Amino acid sequence: MDWKTRVTSLLGCRVPILEGAYGGFGNWRFAAAIAEAGAYGVITASVYRTPEGLREAIRSCRDATDGAFGVNLSFGVCPRMPEMLEICIEEQIPVETAAYKPDSLAPRIKEAGLTWVHKCARVKDAVHAERLGADAVIIVGLEGVGFKSPEQLPTLISTIQAKRELRVPVIAAGGIGDGRGFMGALGMGAEAIMMGTAFMATDECPLGKKAKEKIVRSTPYHPQLRNQVLSPPDPVAFKKAMEMRDQMPVDEWLRMVERMLLKDPAWKIDSDLSGEFLFDQEWAGEQPSRIVSLAVGVLDRVVPARVRVEGILSQGEEILDGWEFLNRR
């Protein structure tokens, strides 16, 4: 079946599935494997730290695959954002901005005519990005993981609201990991899905084997996981972080806010932690259950990326075939 949507046309991928970004390990090899599977690979620029490192990664990925991929630029996490963007412009590669407001980069992206997707948690931020000229918007619901907003709503209502309010295509994310989630998202009005957690449980993800096994063994009912994913950030911690806004460089502050929103108990930056991003340290080891989403509820096995993608599509087709009422219309 041809799963063509406005998103596949925009990004040039065969199927409407995007890879999430991953601070610490979203490298070009992983993106290339996902692009090879027909989905859209994403290189997380922060992994490469320098613009030249990013350029090399883009070129290596191009050499490794004819599939479609782009670059994630995460505000507050990725260093030297304007220079990283210039590399994307020179290399003519689509960008995905994420977290915080994309206003500072938007004029340059538009001037350069780059394909641009913005990822955010609230529909009002999606509307704002559309006004700035984003070609598509990824909306991450509460079930997902990443830049948590205290105002975030579940994937279902976020996707539907985004569809109602935007003209540009909507990409749904947050807790999606199988064909049912995929078809549900399309039903809600999305024209593609993005998966972070589900692609982590693939052979090509650069995490350790044990870490991946732990992901597929995790249950969304575990109180710690549920609390981490679903509960809003501690209001006292949130207030304190907001008070610290003008007391440190904005990059450092954003990093700290991220740790606090992800409910890292050691969220305050001190001399030992400054400059380090949560995932760099945590994910090199074997504690994956800290940062995964409720998508673990539909992940049973670690499989090659191609199998994950094909499995979702064939389950999607099975669902369509099983809907007998379609034949009676």
Ligand X SMILES: Cc1cc2nc3c(=O)[nH]c(=O)nc-3n(C[C@H](O)[C@H](O)[C@H](O)COP(=O)(O)O)c2cc1C
Contacts with ligand X by CB under 6 A lie at 20-23, 44, 46, 72, 74, 77, 98-99, 119, 140, 143-146, 173-176, 194-198, 279, 291-293, 295
Dihedral angle at the C-alpha atoms of 169, 151, 175, 279, nearest 10 degrees?
110
User: Is the separation of the CB atoms in 117 and 134 below 8 Å?
Assistant: yes
Sign of CA dihedral 244, 246, 247, 248: positive
CB 81 → ligand X: shortest distance, Å?
Answer: 12
CB 214 → ligand X: shortest distance, Å?
Answer: 13
Name the residue among 233, 268, 192, 253 with its Cα closest to residue 6: 192
CB 199 → ligand X: shortest distance, Å?
Answer: 8
Name the residue among 188, 78, 95 with its Cα closest to residue 136: 95
Identity of the residue, 20 or 179, whose beta carbon is nearer to ligand X in the bound complex: 20
Identity of the residue, 8 or 218, whose beta carbon is nearer to ligand X in the bound complex: 218
Identity of the residue, 235 or 276, whose beta carbon is nearer to ligand X in the bound complex: 276
Identity of the residue, 77 or 302, whose beta carbon is nearer to ligand X in the bound complex: 77
What is the rounded distance in angstroms from the CA atom of residue 33 to the CA atom of residue 77? 24
Identity of the residue, 114 or 207, whose beta carbon is nearer to ligand X in the bound complex: 207
What are the tokens at 2?
């041809």
CB 259 → ligand X: shortest distance, Å?
Answer: 12
Identity of the residue, 166 or 291, whose beta carbon is nearer to ligand X in the bound complex: 291
CB 321 → ligand X: shortest distance, Å?
Answer: 26
Identity of the residue, 121 or 327, whose beta carbon is nearer to ligand X in the bound complex: 121
What is the rounded distance in angstroms from the CA atom of residue 39 to the CA atom of residue 67? 8
What is the rounded distance in angstroms from the CA atom of residue 68 to the CA atom of residue 42? 9
Whose CB is nearest to ligand X?
Answer: 196
CB 239 → ligand X: shortest distance, Å?
Answer: 25
User: Tell me, what amino acid is at 297?
Assistant: G
CB 292 → ligand X: shortest distance, Å?
Answer: 6
R_g (Cα) of the chain, nearest Å? 19
* Category of 99 on φ-ψ map: left (φ > 0), alpha (ψ -120 to 50) or beta: left
What is the rounded distance in angstroms from the CA atom of residue 54 to the CA atom of residue 32? 14
